[in-house]
Chains A and B, each alone.
Chain A
Amino acid sequence: MDRAPLSLMQTVLWGLLGAAAFIGLWGFLSLSGIVPRQFLPAPWEVVQRFVQLLTEPFAGATLPQHLASSFQRYASGVLLAAVIGVPLGLLMGWFRLLDDIVSPIFDGLRFIAPIAWVPFAALWFGTGVGGPIMIIFAGAFPPCLINAYRGAKFVEPRLIEAARMLGTGHLRMIVEILLPAAIPSIVAGLRVSAGLGWQSLVGAELIVAAAGVGFMMVQAQGSVQTPTVMAGMIAIGLVGMLIDILLQRGEASMRRRRGLAA
């Protein structure tokens, strides 16, 4: 849409208005009894619970402790996805044969939601560290691979020709030409991966035995403590937003350094 840019003040103001309307509607639905109170706790109950959970343990740990435990699994899963997905994507972008072999399998597997892997993740890698990491990996892996692959495929043909004319071998071609050329695409993919990995968190922690935000929410759900479940949801939302903002900044600064439009 073509419209005059809003000033920062206006943007913030409209954002606050939207949030206020949302919370207002939520409060109204909950207070008026249209939705029974134990199904939909009031906003302030959730906030109260959230603050309480910052210091008071629930299901064995405080909310920050649960978050820390979740974050560890999350970071491992996303890192693993990047470490395997990016090189594989680049290799597939360069070697036609590998592309032909891997693409059909991958195109089928990537449509399976990460949560569908829960039973096998638990069986194969256990409920401690391995299983949840595998589920987060399943969420974060496809964008890593796809974006590295596309980045490698859409390198300017002239640059590949220049590199070949200079006698560049396969390994150097991938590391020094395809990888740097694909960086903008790879970084964009990592951002999507980071988001999808974080979204897979609750699913991943369905099978966890000890700690994590997802674990906390599952425990609270068992005892119908809806404010605790919602406090967990808010924590996930906030951390997810934070991760995305940080990565967005990183991406913008990378694009500026490259002389690309941000």
Chain B
Amino acid sequence: MGSIRFDKIEKVFATPGGDVKVLEDINLEIGEKEFVAIVGPSGCGKTTCLRMVAGFEAPSSGVVSVSGRPITAPGPDRAVVFQQFALFPWKTVTQNIELGLRNKKVASGDRARLIEGALSLMNLESHRDAFPHQLSGGMQQRVAIARAYVLDPEVLLMDEPFGALDAQTRVVMQEELVRLARVNPRTVLFITHAVEEAVYLADRVAIMTRRPGRIKEVLDVRSVRQSEGWDRFQRIEDVMDLPSFVHLRTQIWKSLREEKGSQGV
């Protein structure tokens, strides 16, 4: 299991209208098996943070490292769950989940066992031979999560994974992810603009400023969750009604509002 470290990150994008600085002095450390959510106004560069850990983009200055190793390229040690699922349409559910294992040269017997585990983890057994276009959005995202989990990655990177789902499916997936995270804790970097989602899922929530994005504050949710016993509740709406939850949510919400307010939105 790995840790993630952002060290004095700056990111500048060259555009036809000149250079745009999207990230400024990002410093954040995510410990082993810690679930950290980043929230921020749209365009603040939160997705760019995740893409740098994934290895899709390089920082303009500073170092992003996983378990102490600076990142140079994408790899299966850092599995990504994308907002738009990004499943391979010509591969079945099983084949989608299997690709990463084949790339890691896992022997076929072990592969079958791991795939079986991932299918049952995400309740996908009855869809193993389906193609993505035959599945609902929620089911497709289950496949994408299974595809990431099966690799047993050092860190899991989730980029607004539930953003493309309808409200009901979204709630089911959030509850499911909490179940996964409690049963089988992982190092997770989770990007979202939904404040409730962040508070419900994460151990810590990092709030970003508007562009150029900086980390404004980091809130500890875990200690509140533990002292207030959120995990006694199965359903997200019961947790969301707790005064301690409402308090944290409002605190983050106000912090984000200041960001939007300063822009005149």
Interface residues of chain A, those whose CB is within 8 Å of chain B, are: 156, 158-159, 161-169, 172, 176-177, 180-181, 183, 258-259
Residues of B within 8 A of A156 (CB): 86
A165 in contact with B74 given A158-B86, A172-B103, A258-B90 (CB within 8 Å) = yes
**B49: shortest Cβ distance to chain A, in Å?**
16
Asked whether, in the complex, the Cβ of A167 is within 8 Å of the Cβ of B80, the reply is: no
Q: Which of B75, B88, B151 contacts A159 (CB 8 A)?
A: B88
The dominant DSSP class at the B interface is loop
A165 CA to B50 CA, complexed, in Å: 12
- In the complex, the chain A residue whose C-beta lies closest to that of B157 is A165
A163 CA to B131 CA, complexed, in Å: 17
Q: Which of B90, B103, B151 contacts A168 (CB 8 A)?
A: B103
Interface residues of chain B, those whose CB is within 8 Å of chain A, are: 54-56, 73-76, 78-80, 82, 84, 86-91, 99-100, 102-104, 131, 133, 147, 151
Asked whether, in the complex, the Cβ of A166 is within 8 Å of the Cβ of B89, the reply is: no
Asked whether, in the complex, the Cβ of A259 is within 8 Å of the Cβ of B133, the reply is: yes
**A123: shortest Cβ distance to chain B, in Å?**
44
A165 in contact with B103 given A158-B86, A180-B90, A259-B133 (CB within 8 Å) = no
Q: Count the A-B residue pairs with Cβ separation under 8 angstroms: how many?
A: 62
Asked whether, in the complex, the Cβ of A161 is within 8 Å of the Cβ of B99, the reply is: no
- In the complex, the chain A residue whose C-beta lies closest to that of B79 is A165
Asked whether, in the complex, the Cβ of B86 is within 8 Å of the Cβ of A161, the reply is: yes
Asked whether, in the complex, the Cβ of A165 is within 8 Å of the Cβ of B76, the reply is: yes
A105 CA to B83 CA, complexed, in Å: 41
Residues of B within 8 A of A183 (CB): 90
Asked whether, in the complex, the Cβ of A161 is within 8 Å of the Cβ of B74, the reply is: yes
Residues of A within 8 A of B100 (CB): 166-167
**B144: shortest Cβ distance to chain A, in Å?**
8
Q: A162-B86, A164-B73 are in contact. List 5 more A-B contacts (CB 8 A).
A: A165-B55, A165-B78, A166-B100, A172-B103, A180-B90
Asked whether, in the complex, the Cβ of A168 is within 8 Å of the Cβ of B80, the reply is: no
**A156: shortest Cβ distance to chain B, in Å?**
8
Asked whether, in the complex, the Cβ of A177 is within 8 Å of the Cβ of B54, the reply is: no
**A62: shortest Cβ distance to chain B, in Å?**
45
- In the complex, the chain A residue whose C-beta lies closest to that of B151 is A166
A168 CA to B99 CA, complexed, in Å: 8
Q: Which of B86, B91, B104 contacts A167 (CB 8 A)?
A: B104
4 closest A-B pairs by CB:
A166-B100, A167-B103, A167-B76, A162-B86
Q: Which of B75, B89, B90, B102 contacts A165 (CB 8 A)?
A: B75
Residues of B within 8 A of A172 (CB): 102-103
